[in-house]
Amino acid sequence: MYYSKEDEILIDDAWQDLKRSCDKICKGDDDRNLINRAFFLAKEAHQGVRRRSGEPYLLHPIAVAKIVIEEIGLGVKSVVAALLHDVVEDTDYTIEDIERIFGQKIASMVDGLTKMSGVFNADTSAQAEYFRKVLLTLSDDVRVILIKIADRLHNMRTLGYMPKDKQIKITGETIHLFAPLAYRLGLFPIKSELEDLCMKYRFPDEYNEIQRKIEETEPERQQYINKFCAPIHAILQKNGIEYEISGRVKSVYSIWSKMQRKQISFEEVYDLFAIRIVFKALPFPSEKTQCWQIYSSITDIYAPKPDRLRDWISMPKANGYEALHSTVMGNDGIWVEVQIRTQRMEDIADRGFAAHWKYKHATLSQNEDAFDNWLSKIRDALSGSTENAVEFLDNFKLSLYTSEITVFTPKGEQRKLPFGATALDFAYDIHTKIGNKAIGAKINHKIEPVTKQINSGDQIEIITADNASPKPEWIDIVITTKAKQAIASYLKREREDNISHGLAIFEEKLAQFNITLSGSVLRKVMQAYGCKYKDELYSKIGAGIISLDNIEKIIKSSSASKILKFWKLWRDSKPSDGNEEGSDTTEINTNDDQFAIASCCNPLPGDSVVGFKDPMTGKIIVHKASCNELNRLASLFGKNIIRDQIRWSQHRAVSYLSTIEIRGIDRMGLLLEISRIVSEDFSINIREVSIRSHDGIFEGNISIYVQDADSLNAIMDKLRSIKGLERVKRSIDNKE
């Protein structure tokens, strides 16, 4: 099967466009010939194959290669690997063929990009295992991950051709892993586009509405930006600075996230845009000094907001981002964020890791190796992982989006850790042996528990003892991947030693009474000591928790009668209405054991919901469509997501507990007015009211029973009409 004449025209147009982009990275004919050979091999390998959209499949690797050049800034080998990234997976070509034709390095990159398949652990998600194997390529070549992100970006740009269930799975993967990974690698524009595309397919109505409002307010916003920037233009020109000023609007996803988090309208998002000043740095003085000089000039015009100054030049982010951010009071009493950076900083902000390598040897910045330090930690975590793939990914993700703090060793060495880290995280960051032996810490010369949270600027010294060892509760206290894995690894080794020791003790004890170890004997002992698994029994025996003093009596006692119960979960389904062939819609009945309401987001009838079939129990857990935990589950167990087949039951009057957060100006009779609206106007039963008042401001929660989301929204709308109430919003545990 071959491509048609029209297909060939499309392919040739895309290929010629890619070759024009390649001109900027090719140093000679050898580079061009290498790319040409990769293109023609890919064309032969994918001949006649089409994507779900109907277009020639070859357009996909060409598009990925163009993203690699234009949007990430990689070189010739990366373009070749991008063109070949699906050849081994989808065709008869092997890695050995690629190595013979293109060499070992490109073959290694293609191998890393080839999707993993094979036998996975029975208790492990195949998707999560695949992600871990992809991330393991960080140990060899970070370019593989960058190309993988380019591949995901193009797939997201063409996601509209996929069915709805696939869209949920792919957007879940993207928002849970690929967008944070792009952020951590410094690819901020790609990270923002991935998030926007996820929202576009998951919440199209909200996406289109925000996009429409952004476009409608564009003329008014541009007029304001021009007015705000006029005096800045004048002073920068007066100082002879070569610069560009632009007004950047927040991404749709960023605006929506803020609206969801704070439960405010589009009109209440005051920081819709930021002013960015990018200037050409002079050889002298330093870039840092020049940024502060521009900041000083701007604050001569507009008053700054002291608590909104962000200096990421002195201490760049771990993804290499450098800039000076300040919020100033603009015209008409409007706060405006101003970002100041050099052209080098701008390139790194847009291209991340690739730009970092470009400038690495051209700067004397003490933070030039931020990427390398982070990669080194990730490689250590990947190579030392003792968890199953799902646990690994959950912990790995913590290292991606988390804000950072900078702390110091007793000798003044800087260490970057995630916000919320403890002294114990710091100990493991120094060395695993120090973490395992830690018993306390001196934080700013004051003795503190090793579990105490540390803050930016702290100087920390870890106190150790030879007989100390990790405690099981530590694993829930630390937040860094390295610390969690080190503790888990130690506890696992300790547990294995206990199991081996406990089994020996158990067999020796049975031999004393001439009892043969059998399944029935083991079940009796496990039941007597409240153990669910034999390893749990052996581990407790080995650790001295179980003594086996009355083992003979337990084994020789008569067996209690057992009743085995079997049951089947019946689905309440309605016949198809004829609009969708073969449709089978299940109604959510919370009295049915088949369903459970997710505690992370507590959806109400009327909320847009998605079901997740628990692989262990078979029960369908009902989440809000916007739930963060659902994104995590979709990224790991995409096949278990149920979207279009469930709906809320309309024939059951059930009350659901929901909590409303309120905040406002305190006054006499306010609580009485709130209670009257809820109890009298809506005849709603209030379960609990918790109000705190301080300095003339009150805030608190009202827990009430409602039948659906519409009822809750009606109550909140009525409460908002009360004079002095500043905030009325639904309390959501996972803070969507």
Quote the pTM value.
0.66
Strands 446-448 and 324-329: unpaired
For residue range 464-474, what is the model confidence (pLDDT) as tens digits? 888 888 988 89
3-state secondary structure of 612: strand
Residue 342 and residue 221 share a domain: yes
For residue range 592-613, what is the model confidence (pLDDT) as tens digits? 567 788 888 888 877 888 888 8
In a domain, 78, yes or no: yes
For residue range 629-639, what is the model confidence (pLDDT) as tens digits? 887 787 777 77
Task: Judge residue 158's burial from the number of C-beta atoms within 10 Å of its C-beta, 0-12 exposed, 13-18 middle, 19 or more buried.
Answer: middle
In this structure, what CATH number is given to the domain that contains residue 357? 3.30.460.10
For residue range 260-283, what is the model confidence (pLDDT) as tens digits? 888 888 888 877 889 999 999 998
Domain count, the chain: 5
Q: Are 280 and 290 in contact (CB under 8 A)?
A: no
Average pLDDT over residues 324-332: 89
The total number of residues written for the chain in this structure: 736
How far is C-alpha 159 from the geometric centre of its chain's CA atoms?
A: 20
pLDDT, residue 513, reads: 80
Residue 624 and residue 687 share a domain: no
* Confidence band of 437 (pLDDT split at 50, 70, 90): very high
Element (H, E) at 92: none
Output 378 or 108, whichever has higher pLDDT.
108
For residue range 649-704, what is the model confidence (pLDDT) as tens digits? 654 556 778 888 888 888 778 888 888 888 777 777 788 888 887 777 888 888 88
Q: Kindly report the average pLDDT of the chain as a whole number.
A: 80
Output 435 or 121, whichever has higher pLDDT.
435
Beta carbons within 10 angstroms of residue 227's beta carbon: 12
Q: Give the up-direction half-sphere exposure of residue 60: CA atoms within 13 A in the CB hemisphere.
A: 25
3-state secondary structure of 361: helix
3-state secondary structure of 350: helix
Cβ partners under 8 Å of residue 102, min gap 6: 34, 37, 38, 80, 84
In this structure, what CATH number is given to the domain that contains residue 39? 1.10.3210.10
Which of residues 588, 622, 648 is at a domain's end?
648
Residue 78 and residue 55 share a domain: yes
Q: Are 356 and 371 in contact (CB under 8 A)?
A: yes
Q: Are 291 and 340 in contact (CB under 8 A)?
A: yes
Which of residues 173, 201, 229 is at a domain's end?
201
In a domain, 406, yes or no: no
What would the two tokens of residue 593 be?
């054991």
Residue 335 and residue 221 share a domain: yes
- C-alpha distances in Å from residue 167, one per residue of 210, 291, 382, 641: 21, 44, 29, 11
Residue 132 and residue 104 share a domain: yes
Q: Are 146 and 353 in contact (CB under 8 A)?
A: yes
Is 90 an annotated catalytic residue?
yes
138: pLDDT strictly greater than 60: no
Residue 164 and residue 22 share a domain: yes
Average pLDDT over residues 385-414: 66
Average pLDDT over residues 356-367: 51
Q: Are 534 and 526 in contact (CB under 8 A)?
A: yes
Q: Are 486 and 428 in contact (CB under 8 A)?
A: yes
Average pLDDT over residues 367-372: 52
Residue 315 and residue 187 share a domain: no
In this structure, what CATH number is given to the domain that contains residue 726? 3.30.70.260
Of the listed 90, 111, 209, 271, which one is catalytic?
90
For residue range 416-435, what is the model confidence (pLDDT) as tens digits? 888 889 999 999 999 999 99
Q: What is the DSSP letter of 175?
A: I
Average pLDDT over residues 699-719: 85
What would the two tokens of residue 32 be?
């061009």
pLDDT, residue 589, reads: 53
Residue 637 and residue 535 share a domain: no
Cβ partners under 8 Å of residue 206, min gap 6: 199, 256
Element (H, E) at 334: none
Q: What is the DSSP letter of 347?
A: H
- Nearest CA-CA partner of 298 in 322, 327, 333: 327
In a domain, 420, yes or no: no
Output 323 or 399, whichever has higher pLDDT.
323
> Phi/psi zone of residue 396: left (φ > 0), alpha (ψ -120 to 50 degrees), beta?
alpha
Which of residues 201, 230, 252 is at a domain's end?
201
Output 475 or 649, whichever has higher pLDDT.
475
Residue 177 and residue 302 share a domain: no
In a domain, 430, yes or no: no
User: What residues make up the domain containing 20?
Assistant: 5-201
Residue 293 and residue 168 share a domain: no
Q: Give the up-direction half-sphere exposure of residue 300: CA atoms within 13 A in the CB hemisphere.
A: 11
Average pLDDT over residues 521-544: 80
pLDDT, residue 79, reads: 94
Cβ partners under 8 Å of residue 378, min gap 6: 135, 138, 396, 399
Hey, what's the torsion of the CAs at 370, 375, 378, 384, to 10 degrees?
Answer: -130
pLDDT, residue 118, reads: 33
Strands 595-597 and 620-624: parallel
Q: Are 585 and 574 in contact (CB under 8 A)?
A: yes
Please state, in angstroms and rounded to a whole number, the distance separating the CA atoms of residues 89 and 114: 6
Q: What is the DSSP letter of 422?
A: B
In one-letter notation, the amino acid at residue 146 is L
- Express as a percent the part of the chain with pLDDT over 70: 82
How far is C-alpha 422 from the geometric centre of its chain's CA atoms?
A: 21
Element (H, E) at 595: strand 595-597
Least-confidence region, from 134-138, 329-333, 479-483, 622-626: 134-138
pLDDT, residue 124, reads: 43
Peptide bond into 285 cis (omega under 30): yes
Q: Which span out of 109-113, 337-341, 500-504, 572-576 was modeled with the highest average pLDDT? A: 337-341
In a domain, 178, yes or no: yes
In a domain, 179, yes or no: yes
In a domain, 433, yes or no: no
pLDDT, residue 328, reads: 92
* Confidence band of 211 (pLDDT split at 50, 70, 90): very high
pLDDT, residue 649, reads: 64
- C-alpha distances in Å from residue 588, one per residue of 74, 414, 423, 498, 593: 50, 54, 46, 46, 11
pLDDT, residue 298, reads: 94
For residue range 156-171, what is the model confidence (pLDDT) as tens digits? 999 988 888 888 888 8
pLDDT, residue 363, reads: 47
Least-confidence region, from 362-366, 400-404, 408-412, 602-606: 362-366
The residue behind tokens 């006499």 is: 668
3-state secondary structure 274-309: EEEEEECCCCCCCHHHHHHHHHHHHHCCCCECHHHC
What would the two tokens of residue 693 be?
């008042």
Please name every residue paired with 404 in a beta bridge, in sequence order, or none if there are none: 418
* Confidence band of 291 (pLDDT split at 50, 70, 90): very high
Residue 325 and residue 306 share a domain: yes
The residue behind tokens 């700067």 is: 363
pLDDT, residue 121, reads: 36
Residue 330 and residue 216 share a domain: yes
Of the listed 17, 44, 70, 89, which one is catalytic?
89
- Nearest CA-CA partner of 453 in 423, 410, 429: 423
Beta carbons within 10 angstroms of residue 53's beta carbon: 13
Q: Are 202 and 625 in contact (CB under 8 A)?
A: yes
561: pLDDT strictly greater than 70: no
Output 243 or 672, whichever has higher pLDDT.
243
Please state, in angstroms and rounded to a whole number, the distance separating the CA atoms of residues 327 and 463: 42
- C-alpha distances in Å from residue 540, one per residue of 211, 241, 323, 387, 656: 59, 72, 55, 22, 42
Edge-to-edge strands, sheet with 438-443: 446-448, 438-443, 460-464
In a domain, 520, yes or no: yes
Please provide the DSSP assignment of 63-85 as one string: HHHHHIIIII---HHHHHHHHTT
309: pLDDT strictly greater than 80: yes
365: pLDDT strictly greater than 80: no
Please state, in angstroms and rounded to a whole number, the distance separating the CA atoms of residues 321 and 648: 46
pLDDT, residue 570, reads: 27
pLDDT, residue 714, reads: 86
Q: Which span out of 223-237, 307-321, 494-508, 718-732 was modeled with the highest average pLDDT? A: 223-237
3-state secondary structure of 513: coil
* Confidence band of 295 (pLDDT split at 50, 70, 90): very high
